[in-house]
Amino acid sequence: MPRTTPPPLLDVEALFPMLKPLRREAVRLHPRRGEPGPWDSSVGGPLSWPASEPWPHCEDSHPRTRLAPADDDFAHAMVPVLQLYARDVPELPFPEGTDVLQVVWCPFDHEAGYVPRPEIYWRDSTRSEPLIEEPPRPVGAGDVYLPDPCVLHPERVVEYPNWDLDDELAEELEETFEEMEERAAEDGSPCAYRSHLSVAPGIKAGGYPSWTQDPYWPTCPGPCGQRMRHLVTIKSAEFDGVSWRRWVPVEDRSGGGTDDGSGDGSGDGWNVLGLPYEERKALQRAPDIMLGDMGGMYLFVCGHGCPGMPFRYHSDCS
Which positions lie near Zn ion, rule CB under 5 A?
58, 60, 106, 220, 222, 224, 302, 304, 306
Least distance in Å: CB of 115 to Zn ion?
A: 10
Q: Using the minimum distance from each CB to Zn ion, give the nearer residue, 14 or 70.
A: 70
With contact defined as beta carbons under 8 Å apart, do 217 and 303 qualify?
no
Q: Using the minimum distance from each CB to Zn ion, give the nearer residue, 36 or 56.
A: 56
Q: Using the minimum distance from each CB to Zn ion, give the nearer residue, 170 or 306.
A: 306
Least distance in Å: CB of 187 to Zn ion?
A: 47
Checking phi first, is residue 155 left (phi over 0); if not, alpha (psi -120 to 50) or beta?
A: beta
Residue partners of 147: CB distance under 8 A and separation at least 6: 43, 44, 79, 80, 81, 287, 288, 289
The span from the CA of 260 to the CA of 266, in Å, is 8
Count CA within 13 A, CB hemisphere, residue 88.
22
Q: Using the minimum distance from each CB to Zn ion, give the nearer residue, 248 or 302.
A: 302
150 SS3 class = strand
Q: Using the minimum distance from each CB to Zn ion, give the nearer residue, 180 or 302.
A: 302
Backbone angles phi, psi at 58, to 5 degrees: -110, 130
C-alpha pair distances (Å), 117 with each of 56, 169, 305: 12, 35, 24
Least distance in Å: CB of 102 to Zn ion?
A: 17
Q: Using the minimum distance from each CB to Zn ion, give the nearer residue, 94 or 160.
A: 94
Q: Using the minimum distance from each CB to Zn ion, give the nearer residue, 304 or 312.
A: 304
155 SS3 class = strand
Least distance in Å: CB of 59 to Zn ion?
A: 8
Least distance in Å: CB of 312 to Zn ion?
A: 10
The span from the CA of 215 to the CA of 312, in Å, is 14
Count CA within 13 A, CB hemisphere, residue 133.
0
Q: Using the minimum distance from each CB to Zn ion, give the nearer residue, 68 or 317.
A: 68
Please choose, from the candidates 36, 234, 206, 281, the residue with its C-alpha nearest in 3D space to the C-alpha of residue 116: 234
Least distance in Å: CB of 38 to Zn ion?
A: 24
Residue partners of 116: CB distance under 8 A and separation at least 6: 105, 106, 107, 108, 109, 110, 145, 291, 297
Least distance in Å: CB of 56 to Zn ion?
A: 10
The span from the CA of 4 to the CA of 252, in Å, is 9
Q: Using the minimum distance from each CB to Zn ion, give the nearer residue, 60 or 155.
A: 60
The span from the CA of 210 to the CA of 295, in Å, is 10
